Each structure stands twice: as C-alpha cells, then as structure tokens.
Amino acid sequence: MCSIFGLYKYEGWVFESAYELGHEGPRLPQHRMNLSYDGKSLLYFYLFYTLCKQTCGKLYHMPEFLAMSILILLFSVILHEVMHGWVALKFGDHTAERAGRLTLNPIPHIDLFGTVLLPALLIMTGSPILFGWAKPVPVNPLNFRSLRRGELMVSAAGVVANFTLAIVAAIIFHILNALPQTFPALLGSLLLFTVKINLVLGIFNLFPIPPLDGSKVLLSQLPYKWAKEYQKFERYGILILLILLMIPFGQSSLLHTILGFFVDIFSRILGF
C-alpha cells in the first residue's frame, strides 16, 4: 500500500433540529455550505507515494509516470467531488452549480496552499507523508426534493464514481493484455495505478467514520434518534483516522492494513 496521508473532503456537518429549522419533523445532519477550507474538510489525497512504488516498480522513477499518475489522482479526486454536486443538482440543489464547482477543470477545486504548495513542499523535502486538501464542494440538503434519499445518493455518488473508474481501467487493461501484440509497460502501469488509486479512494470513503462518505450513507439510513447520537462522533472523526494511521500493525499501520485488505479483495475481483 501507499504511504501518503492527506485528504480532501466535501464538507463537515452541522446538526439542526426540526424546531430550529422551523419544520415539524426531524431533520438529518446538514452539510455546511462554507466554501472555504475548515478543519473538517481535510480528508482525501491518501496513499500515493508508496502506491506508485509498489504498483509500478522501476517505472515510479520515470518522470513521465510520476507526472501522469499525479494527473490521474487529481482527475479521480475531482470527479469524486464533482459527482457529489452533480447528484445534488439532480435532487434540486443548485448550490454547487452556482458556485461553479460542477466542472472537471481543476482550477475551481484547487486550494493554492493545500493542493499545491504544501504537497510540493513535502515532496521536495522527501517526506514519506503527503498531506493536502481541496476546496469543499458545497451541498445544501434542505434543497433536496427528497431529503433522506438525496442524502444517501449524494453521499454515495463520489464512491460510485471511483469504483466506476477502477472497473473501466481494469477492463481496458485486460482487453489490451488479451491482444496478440504487447502494449507499452508505461500504459499498463498507469492503468493499474488507476485501478488501485480509485479502489483506495472508493473503499476509504466507505469507512463509516465522520466525515467520510460512508458515515453520511449510514447516517441517512438511521432512525432519527440513532442518527442524532451517531452524529456526535463527527467531532472526533479526524482524530479517529489519525489514531488508526498511527497504531502499528505488522509492517504498517492499522488503517493501512484494513484498507489494504479490502483493496486486495476488490483487486482480485477485477482480475489483479
């Protein structure tokens, strides 16, 4: 597995009761519409450096591979975020659209310090850990035509996008591999990297730890009383992830081991 810690995420939550919102029935925790970085937006960019090394061996040192793998990572991360906003739009929320965030153009999603300067500084200093963030994608569930279904679909959209990219890359790899003529090793390594990094992003975001997407999917399905109690753990989400990252387990951390276990299972399903 890779060793890069740094993450992007699209919004934390703030709980608003039905009475505070002026509604008769209870409301689920709501996503904030803060367009600037906050502490709960740190979550995403995970496992890049070591993943490149283990997936591609000697090719990792090729400038062409490193440049292309960075582009693949950025595309995968941005598509994940855009899908949150796009699905929210389909449920009646125009917040991301009005903010100009429904685009694959990386510029609107880039935070100058968190996406560019800090990761570049860590790379240049040879740090084994890469840490960064992007601007959060704004979503307002109060605009959804169906609140509970909208919360579920919007939260799952980014994960579905990553799994779809992994499946498409795997299909292309196997088709090329079945052809009688050989194809360039660089292309094969990039396709394999696309599979691995998107499985990492998809599976990681399915963890039911706030503010990851898996916690929002679970939250949208819980009864109101349970959702209210579960939401209290949101303030400890980043701390829990850091603790899991620091707890040693074998030759890696507990978080790496858990993530690697599921990535290996899905990799085998896709034929790797």
* Enzyme catalytic residues: 81
Give the Cα separation of 233 and 54 in Å (integer).
Answer: 35
Judge if the upstream peptide bond of residue 108 is cis by omega within 30 degrees of 0.
Answer: no
DSSP class of residue 65 equals: H
The residue to which tokens 């569930």 are assigned: 141
Provide the β-strand partners of residue 30.
Answer: 14
For residue 72, which phi and psi values (nearest 5 degrees)?
Answer: -65, -45
Contact 163, 198 (CB under 8 A): yes
| Separation of CA 134 from chain center | 11
Q: By CB neighbour count within 10 A (0-12 exposed, 13-18 middle, 19+ buried), where does 62 fall?
A: middle
DSSP symbols for 102-171? SSS-SGGG--IIIIIIHHHHHHHTT-S------PPPP--GGG-SSHHHHHHHHHHHHHHHHHHHHHHHHH
